[in-house]
Structure 1
Amino acid sequence: MDLLGSLGGSPAAAEIQCSRKGCRNAASHQLLWNNPKIHTPDRRKIWLACEEHRDWLETYLKERLLHKETLPMPGNEGESK
């Protein structure tokens, strides 16, 4: 039985949201990071950031020496800071 189909519509695609606590804005950047104490050097974790919280999240990671790289979300390649 298809419960989603029985509701009369297709499920909405989940919007990719900023990782900042409480933020519901669409993400425009990927912040790649790892914790060298627990991750292998090539491992990358990803936080997502909206324009409003990009600097805050980058600063948080950089202060802890975890930040590796910030990339635009796919489809946002032309946008820059």
Structure 2
Amino acid sequence: MAKLTYKIVEHDGGWAYKVGDTYSETFPTHADALRAAQIASSEQQIAGATDGIEYEDAQGNWHEELADGRDRPQTEVSDDEGR
């Protein structure tokens, strides 16, 4: 099972959460970013429908796969600022 960490970070004059190398939108306060990360993290764990997906990889190649809607990652929120 995959594990995703939503990390609260300062970003673009405000606060955001970051998963891997991807940032969320910027929030005006640390508390706003933390709450958004908690919501996104909990929603990420909800099972969905099994469906076909298409995606492009870093090399520009397209892939088609069947995504099992029950295969959800484990998530956590990391807040080093602790505010």
TM-score scaled by length of structure 2: 0.31
TM-score, structure 1 length as denominator? 0.31
Q: Which has the higher contact order (CA 8 A, sep 6+)?
A: 2
More strand per residue: 1 or 2? 2
Q: Which has the larger radius of gyration?
A: 1
